[in-house]
């Protein structure tokens, strides 16, 4: 009996790390990424709710950035363009364009992943904002005046999801590790640029954008892993 149970556990573990199984390696890695991202979000959210030292850093960094936000008209205009491009209408337009490109490449499952990730993640973020109800940074002469809640950053969530899905798709089709590394770095750079624009323009605190990245990574793991598992199961049924 013990030997039989041990054998079953070995088979179960082997299946979880098999690249070919419908519930194999991709699902294991997806769940791991989800748990890590959720843990990161929970830690940041707890720190914000409890007034941990990161909230003091939030205030100091926001004040310092606002004091220097008028030093360069070129930089401010550039970051305003970045933040407007990744507003709700802008991100949905970019998502539609990316979805059209994926359909043209006959990557319909990736198009489904994109549609589940970006609009779905944006709706999730609205729910999160109303859960925490954190006020935005306040200044006497703000660059941007917003009435919505601050935590987590919606722009950062949307950018993480949009560029995350595209990076996942492109890395699967890259022919070298150098190309994969360049794709990942480019996606990370875009997310950081969007997050940085929100900080520089005084729309968010540092913890807002960090939580947005964690939330986006968690939802990205769910969407990418879920659609990939569905596709593998459909392939398995077709071959049986």
Q: Which tens digits make up the pLDDT trace of 109-132?
A: 899 999 999 999 999 999 999 999
- Nearest alpha-carbon partner for 229 in 95, 35, 28: 28
- More confidently predicted of 213 and 143: 213
Q: What is the pLDDT of residue 16?
A: 45
Residue 214, C-beta contacts closer than 8 angstroms, at least 6 positions apart = 37, 38, 40, 41, 44, 152
Q: Is the pLDDT of residue 227 over 90?
A: no
Average pLDDT of every residue of the chain:
86
- Domains, in order of start, for the chain: 24-239 (1.20.144)
- More confidently predicted of 150 and 29: 150
Q: What is the pLDDT of residue 26?
A: 60
Q: What is the pLDDT of residue 24?
A: 47
Q: What is the pLDDT of residue 11?
A: 54
Q: Is the pLDDT of residue 181 over 90?
A: yes
Q: Is the pLDDT of residue 25 over 90?
A: no
Q: What is the pLDDT of residue 139?
A: 87
C-alpha distances in Å from residue 174, one per residue of 101, 183, 184:
17, 9, 11
**Mean pLDDT of the region 8-36:** 61
Report pLDDT digits (tens) over 31-53.
888 899 999 999 999 999 998 89
């Amino acid at each position: 009996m013990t030997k039989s149970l041990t054998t079953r556990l070995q088979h179960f573990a082997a299946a979880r790390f098999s690249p070919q199984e419908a519930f194999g390696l991709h699902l294991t890695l997806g769940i791991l990424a989800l748990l890590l991202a959720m843990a990161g979000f929970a830690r940041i959210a707890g720190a914000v709710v409890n007034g941990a030292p990161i909230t003091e850093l939030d205030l100091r960094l926001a004040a310092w950035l606002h004091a220097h936000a008028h030093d360069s008209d070129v930089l401010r205009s550039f970051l305003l363009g970045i933040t407007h491009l990744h507003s709700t209408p802008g991100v949905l337009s970019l998502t539609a364009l990316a979805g059209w490109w994926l359909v043209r490449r006959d990557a319909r499952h990736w198009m489904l992943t994109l549609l589940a990730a970006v609009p779905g993640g944006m709706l999730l973020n609205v729910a999160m904002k109303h859960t925490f109800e954190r006020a935005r940074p306040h200044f006497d002469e703000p660059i941007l005046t917003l009435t919505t809640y601050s935590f987590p950053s919606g722009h950062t969530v949307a950018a993480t999801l949009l560029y995350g899905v595209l990076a996942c798709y492109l890395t699967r089709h890259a022919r070298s590790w150098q190309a994969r590394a360049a794709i990942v770095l480019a996606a990370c750079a875009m997310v950081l640029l969007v997050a940085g624009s929100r900080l520089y323009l005084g729309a968010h605190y540092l913890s807002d954008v960090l939580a947005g990245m964690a939330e986006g990574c968690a939802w990205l793991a769910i969407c990418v892993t879920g659609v990939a598992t569905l596709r593998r199961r459909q392939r398995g049924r077709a071959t049986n």
